[in-house]
Amino acid sequence: MKPDLLSVEALRPQSMEELAQIFTVHSLPMDKSLWIERAKPVADRVRFVQTTGFAGCPGELMTILPKLEIVSCMGVGVDAIDLAQARKRGIAVTNTPDVLNDDVADLAIALLLMTARHLALSDRYVRDGRWKKLGNQPLATKVSGKRLGIVGMGRIGKVIARRAQAFDMSIDYHTRNKADVPFRHWPDLVAMARAVDFLIVIVPGGPATKGLISAPVIEALGPKGIFVNVSRGSVVDEPALVDALVAGRIAGAGLDVFADEPNVPPALLGLDNVVLSPHVGSGTQETRGAMADLVVNNLKAHLAGKPLLTRVV
């Protein structure tokens, strides 16, 4: 008999077929409020969970799976998984680091360029006839040669820095510990925000970073400052950010992540100084394929009693 696997959020079809050859796959619906009810009938048999960074594996779900051995997550961020319970019960948790660094860094730079150069607005300006009617669009902000502050200098932060150097930007960063990089380290995030032109955030989510981008950080970035978030919505005081954007106390923001996805604060939808994307940092065919392969290969390794490829817990 095949072992039972609970799929909280599906991978690409090809990977789901691969899983179905090895496991009896039980899929949960998108609506989180139905998860416990749908998982209950098979809960006593489930040893494997496959999930994504978005869906995670909340404590209430983990609790009803007494035989759970491993949670294999598509995503490097595991903040939506109950890691404390996993540690306590000896449940392995795996993620998908590194294979997505390029894509997330590309998106961070794209959002910075789009926001500073008003590119989403430019597209609307041409399409809705404003160019013909009003003439040239108001001037934007130069990116090349400016000063970039990066909050988080891990796997992805370093790749963002490399790209920024190609734009002749000077780089500053904030982390808790000094990283092995030739850039200025700022233990004081507010002071760094005051010194830079742009701020890109790429730290993990979870309690340690909740609200790290606070109202004082946003105010320190100032009316010419541009803010980009490709990390997690929880890292930002979202109401303070919206307030500052609406009032023009910062120049603009490029946002891939939000506090309550897929809900976006309605006030952002009408703002021309904001570029929004639906959490697509790693969203290319190539990278999502590599991530899905890692998820499947971690599950296979666990089943075969071999060392896991990318273990967090």
The yes or no reply on residue 281 touching ligand 8YV (CB under 6 A) is: yes
Among residues 47 and 288, whose Cβ is nearest to ligand 8YV? 288
Which of 172, 184, 266, 177 is closest to 221 using CA atoms? 172
Shortest spacing between CB 262 and ligand NAP, in angstroms: 13
Q: What character string, x for contact with ligand NAP (CB under 6 A) and - otherwise, covers 130-169?
A: ----------------------xxxxxx------------
Q: Which two tokens stand for residue 130?
A: 């404003």
Cβ–Cβ < 8 Å for 193, 221: yes
Choose the one of ligand NAP, ligand 8YV, none that binds residue 256, judging by a C-beta under 5 to 8 angstroms depending on kind: ligand NAP
The yes or no reply on residue 18 touching ligand NAP (CB under 6 A) is: no
The yes or no reply on residue 254 touching ligand 8YV (CB under 6 A) is: no
Task: Scan residues 40-99 and list those touching ligand 8YV (CB under 6 A).
Answer: 52-54, 74-77
Please identify which of the residues 17, 60, 261, 286 carries the catalytic annotation: 261
Choose the one of ligand NAP, ligand 8YV, none that binds residue 54, judging by a C-beta under 5 to 8 angstroms depending on kind: ligand 8YV
Please tell me the distance from the alpha carbon of residue 197 to that of residue 139, in angstroms, as a whole number. 17
Element (H, E) at 274: strand 274-276
Please tell me the distance from the alpha carbon of residue 170 to that of residue 144, in angstroms, as a whole number. 10
- CA distances to 68, 88, 186 from 63, in Å: 9, 12, 41
Please tell me the distance from the alpha carbon of residue 72 to that of residue 49, in angstroms, as a whole number. 6
End-to-end C-alpha distance for the chain, whole angstroms? 28
Size of the site for ligand NAP (CB under 6 A): 31
Is 279 a residue of the active site?
yes
Residue count (the chain) = 313
Choose the one of ligand NAP, ligand 8YV, none that binds residue 74, judging by a C-beta under 5 to 8 angstroms depending on kind: ligand 8YV
Task: Scan residues 181-200 and list those touching ligand NAP (CB under 6 A).
Answer: none
Cβ–Cβ < 8 Å for 55, 35: no
The residue nearest ligand NAP at its CB is: 154
Q: Which two tokens stand for residue 179?
A: 């990283």
Q: What character string, x for contact with ligand NAP (CB under 6 A) and - otherwise, covers 249-288?
A: -------xx---------------------x-xx------
Q: Which two tokens stand for residue 26?
A: 């039980």
Please identify which of the residues 26, 174, 232, 288 carries the catalytic annotation: 232
Is 232 a residue of the active site?
yes
**Torsion-angle region of 36 (φ positive above 0: left; ψ -120 to 50: alpha; else: beta):** alpha
Element (H, E) at 198: strand 198-201
Residues that bind ligand 8YV (CB under 6 A): 52-54, 74-77, 100, 279, 281-282
Give catalytic residue positions: 232, 261, 279
Residues that bind ligand NAP (CB under 6 A): 76-77, 97, 100, 104, 152-157, 174-177, 179, 202-205, 208-209, 212, 230-232, 256-257, 279, 281-282
